[in-house]
Amino acid sequence: MTQPAETRLTRRFSKLKAEKRAAFVAYIMAGDPDHETAIEIACGLPESGVDVIELGLPFTDPMADGPAIQAAAMRSLAAGGTLARTLETARAVRARHPDTPIILMGYYNPIYSRGVERFLAEAGEAGVDGMIVVDLPPEEDEELCLPANAAGLHFIRLATPTTDDARLPAVLNNTSGFVYYVSITGITGAAEASAEAVAPEVARIKRATNLPVCVGFGVRTPEGARAIAAVADGVVVGSAIVSRIGAGDSPRKVLEFVRSLAAGVRGEAEHV
């Protein structure tokens, strides 16, 4: 089937491969704690060392997410967060950072409610490069994955510790951009990722695909980010950043923390 060819995302991973370093992928919830502050933080992420931005779609029932991201979704919704405003955030980032990949991460319901064709057109216009929709399994590829690929947007799938060799081909089929390996069994922020446990799983996935493998769920500190960066093509941090926002940290303080994580991914900081 047709998949996106050269994109901002593929170019970014090619550049990082040439530099022999892992990608730093940072997640924030769009609209958290409010629309304007979320845009300020999102626009500051690339300057703070972020290679790929994951922008969360606020939703009332984020079943794969732990308390930190659930609370972020509720803050966003209470402040008027919507899919349309999420795309406004993407547009603001794209206007300031033409080359930074932007991935939307969330659930299918808001997309379905808007209409797949309309959503894909608007996402492309906003400068979105791909999406992670955690509640659409491979058996439902015709719903969104295939139309997204046809529209030039990556559809990034999750692999987990329970994705065995029999299931892995289905997960990888039609996936593009990168594979997101969930380092723990459970919800986001539930436990700390172990590089020792992650390394053989990343190697197993890489034997089955040429796509980069990024590891998320359970990466909380610069030290943890550095350890995962040594065994994966990318490190995803979400709950730890969102928790800082939830605690009321200013955008400046949030971005300082993001910079410490970026230094960890790059192996530049022993202690932050």
Instruction: Show which residues are catalytic.
Output: 54, 65
At 84, list the tokens. Answer: 């349309």
What is the CA 208 to chain-centroid distance, rounded? 22
Strand partners, 106: 133
Instruction: Name the residue among 63, 64, 76 with its Cα closest to residue 32.
Output: 76
CB 1 within 8 A of CB 173: no
What angle is formed at CA 211 by the lines to CA 209 and CA 214, rounded to 5 degrees? 115
CA distances from 157 to 176, 191, 213 (A): 8, 21, 10
CB 166 within 8 A of CB 159: no
CB 232 within 8 A of CB 181: yes
